[in-house]
Amino acid sequence: MFDTYFPDETRILYQLVHENLNAHPSLHWLSVGLVTFVLLGLLFLHRNWVNRFPAYGYMAAVLFAVALLDILTEIIPLLTVYLIVLGYVLFRSHDENAHIVTASFAIIFLVIEMMTVWHKLIILDVVSQSLLFAWFGWMSSQVRQFYFEVKKLQEKNRHLVAKMNEAQQRLHEFNDELEETYRRDSLTGLYNFGAFQEQVTRSLARLGKNQSYHVICLDLTDFQQVNMREGIDAGNQILVQIARQLKKNLPSFAQLARYDGDQFAVGVMGGQAVLRRCLEVIEWVMENLRSDRTLVHYCIGTATYPQEANCGADLIRLAEQRLSIEQRRLRHEEEERQRHLEKLSAVGQLAAGLAHEIRNPLTSIRGFVQISAAESEAVKKWESIILPEIDRINELLKQFLNLSETRPSRFIRFSLDQLMNDVLSLLQPKSFLMGHELVAHAPSDPVELEADPEQIKQVLINLIQNGLEALSEKGKVEVRWKEFRGRVSIRVQDNGNGIKPEHMSRIFEPFFTTKGEGTGMGLSICHRIIMEHGGQIHVTSQPGRGTTFCIHLPVRQKPKEEPQKKEEKPLAEAETGPQKDVLHERQGVR
């Protein structure tokens, strides 16, 4: 690329370099190589380092390296190198004045040329080369300006594209949030029915072989009563509390939804152990809520895929159908409870009337018989028959009054284990004399209960005595009790003849008995006491195999509403008119 020519005359700069470096050729070319290396290093220096130079510092360093290379190459012209480097420097130092940079390169080049060689056309070369530097500098400046304008436009374009991408991303996020909001319940933040159906369908699609998926429907029965009595805000707080507790205590992989007002649904993948765990959590949450809210009742329906349904819609539909069946069962129990209360009220009125109409004449008859027996031998021989029958009538009246009495329960906290020991110690001799076995299965941990100990003792004695009397030959009565999740369960089981199926629905009715003796009041009194304690009493029996009574009581009594205060009447006054007994029965669902 270099045009070599022979000058007419060498000047001082050429002579200086030629005389000093020709004596050492290797040093000469080593210096040329070193300067070339430095020049290339400057030209390919990273822009971050270029920006660290002061104003025109980078230009000066590159120009110095080019000038030094020009001097060391002696008479070899480097005009092309100057122009290329000039364009490159103008391109990289875009903040510096292009005229100053171009003038600097032109002046250095011309000075070195004039101080190196001299010929006849030197003035023409200077002029033409100056014009060439000016034209090249202008062209480089234009190219540089156009390039950086394009760069700015590209930067603006990238900025606009980034903003557009960000806006699109935010739009997508907003759409996702809007869609998620549409799929969520506004009060509790749980999935609504449509979103729950989608979740169930997706979960079934991911279900592996031999895996199961369960849907649990939870309904708050008679929840409208809460809204009517405590207000809609209080009802909403209950729903939010249930949602938070379920979300907190259920497994993290469970899918939770609320739909249809007071109904919740849970979808969970796993075996029967996972299903039992979820049901225990739901019951624990609801029982804790019921300890503060006596009006909150609930029922549960479940279904399992693939054992009981073929798709997600059928699975949810089956769980809801079972929930409806459970609701109808609870309504039926409530109707039966109301009928039982009406019967108890009728018995209370009858007992008060009997106490007034029969008890006082019996007292007179008893006294007359005793006086007559003392005066007449004819009457005395009937005294042993008449007086026991009068006492039997009095005992019957006493049981009627016990059934209808309205004495408020005295709730205290006591040891159920100690009470059981007292009851069993009291009945062990009777069991021994009857030739039966009375066995207690105490729990490993002590159980404490808040209740009326005398009334609970009365219930236990009645149930155990019934069990002993139901044994026709050498048999066994077993008593178990334990505490689980805030509830105490008591089980009295015998292996006697059992109860006939047609009698099962009537055993808690007043006056109903299958014994040759007895008044049929014992189980009615037991039922009333357990209901007044906020518990439940159930019976199961298989003819020929025995009967089991199950009692479920809350460990801590729920706060009761303030009853209307009535003045207590003395017994004599109570016997002059009908006596009303209003029992408050609270329903619970296991």
The vertex-588 CA angle with 443 and 341, nearest 5°, equals: 115
Mean per-residue pLDDT for 511-516?
62
Which has the minimum average pLDDT: 1-5, 110-114, 259-263? Answer: 1-5
Instruction: Tell me the per-residue pLDDT of 381-397, one tens digit each, with 9 for 90 and over.
Output: 787 788 888 887 777 77
Instruction: Tell me the per-residue pLDDT of 3-19, one tens digit each, with 9 for 90 and over.
Output: 444 455 555 666 666 66
Give the residue with greater pLDDT, 42 vs 114. 42
Would you tell me the crossing angle of helices 232-249 and 272-290 to the nearest 10 degrees?
150
- Predicted pLDDT at 578: 35
pTM for the whole thing?
0.46
Instruction: Answer yes or no: are the C-beta atoms of 480 and 444 closer than 8 Å.
Output: no
Whose CA is closest to 103, among 72, 58, 59?
59
Mean per-residue pLDDT for 510-539?
74
How much of the chain exceeds pLDDT 70, in percent? 78
- Predicted pLDDT at 161: 92
User: The tokens of 460 are what?
Assistant: 């236990």
User: The tokens of 200 are what?
Assistant: 């169930």
- Find how far residue 26's CA is from the centre of its chain: 84
d(CA 2, CA 77): 6
Instruction: Tell me the per-residue pLDDT of 574-588, one tens digit each, with 9 for 90 and over.
Output: 333 333 332 233 333
- Residue 410 in this model has a pLDDT that exceeds 60: yes
Question: Would you mind telling me the total number of residues written for the chain in this entry?
Answer: 590
Q: For the chain, first and last CA: distance in Å? A: 101
- Predicted pLDDT at 21: 66
d(CA 525, CA 510): 8
Instruction: Answer yes or no: are the C-beta atoms of 237 and 226 closer than 8 Å.
Output: no
List all residues 6 or more positions away from 550 whose beta carbon is below 8 Å from its beta carbon: 489, 490, 491, 537, 538, 539, 540
d(CA 418, CA 413): 12
- Predicted pLDDT at 400: 65
3-state helix, strand, coil in the chain (%, to 5): 60, 15, 25
d(CA 139, CA 87): 9
Beta bridge partner(s), residue 494: 477, 547
Give the residue with greater pLDDT, 505 vs 41. 41
- Predicted pLDDT at 339: 72
Which has the minimum average pLDDT: 69-73, 280-284, 383-387? Answer: 69-73
Residue in this structure with the two tokens 């009470």, named with its chain if needed:
419
- Predicted pLDDT at 511: 64
d(CA 285, CA 290): 9
- Predicted pLDDT at 164: 92
Give the residue with greater pLDDT, 318 vs 384. 318
User: The tokens of 103 are what?
Assistant: 């003038």
- Residue 208 in this model has a pLDDT that exceeds 60: yes
- Predicted pLDDT at 585: 35
DSSP state of 55: T
Instruction: Answer yes or no: are the C-beta atoms of 546 and 498 closer than 8 Å.
Output: yes
Instruction: Answer yes or no: are the C-beta atoms of 393 and 399 closer than 8 Å.
Output: no
Give the residue with greater pLDDT, 348 vs 58. 58
- Predicted pLDDT at 1: 33
pLDDT band, residue 479 (cuts 50/70/90): very high
Q: Give the highest mean pLDDT range of 6-20, 279-293, 311-325, 396-410.
A: 311-325
Cis peptide before 306 (omega within 30 of 0): yes
d(CA 499, CA 150): 99
- In this structure, the number of other CB atoms found within 10 A of the CB of residue 256 comes to 20
d(CA 365, CA 358): 10
Instruction: Answer yes or no: are the C-beta atoms of 56 and 96 closer than 8 Å.
Output: yes
How much of the chain exceeds pLDDT 90, in percent? 4
Residue type, 285: V
